[in-house]
Amino acid sequence: MSFKEIKSTLDNMDEQSRLSSAHDIMDDSRKNVKALCKKIINAHEKKLNEIARVKKLYEFDKQFGNIIIAGVDEVGRGPLAGPIVGAAVVLELNIKDDLDLILGINDSKKLSHKKREELSKIIKEKALAFEIAALDNNEIDSKGISWCNNEIFKIAVSKLKVKPELVISDGYAVKGLGIKNHYIVKGDAQSASIACASIIAKVYRDNLMCEYAENYQGYGFESNVGYGSKDHIDAIKKFGTTPIHRMSFLKNIL
Give me the residue spans of the domains in the chain. Answer: 3-62, 69-206
| Predicted local distance difference test score (pLDDT) of residue 45 | 87
Question: What does the pLDDT look like over 220-248, one tens digit per residue?
Answer: 999 999 999 999 999 999 999 999 999 99
225: left (phi over 0), alpha (psi -120 to 50) or beta: left
Which helix (H) or strand (E) segment holds residue 50: the answer is helix 31-62
Model-wide pTM > 0.85? yes
Angle between helices 15-24 and 31-62 (to 10 degrees): 140
Question: What does the pLDDT look like over 60-69, one tens digit per residue?
Answer: 999 999 999 9
> Binding site annotation covers 27?
no
| Predicted local distance difference test score (pLDDT) of residue 163 | 96
> Binding site annotation covers 136?
no
> Binding site annotation covers 73?
yes
Fold classified for 69-206: Nucleotidyltransferase; domain 5 (3.30.420)
> Residue 88 in contact with residue 155, Cβ under 8 Å?
no
> Residue 85 in contact with residue 133, Cβ under 8 Å?
yes
Low-confidence ranges of the chain (pLDDT < 70): none
Q: Nearest 5°: phi and psi at 12?
A: -95, 5
CA distances from 14 to 7, 47, 203 (A): 13, 15, 33
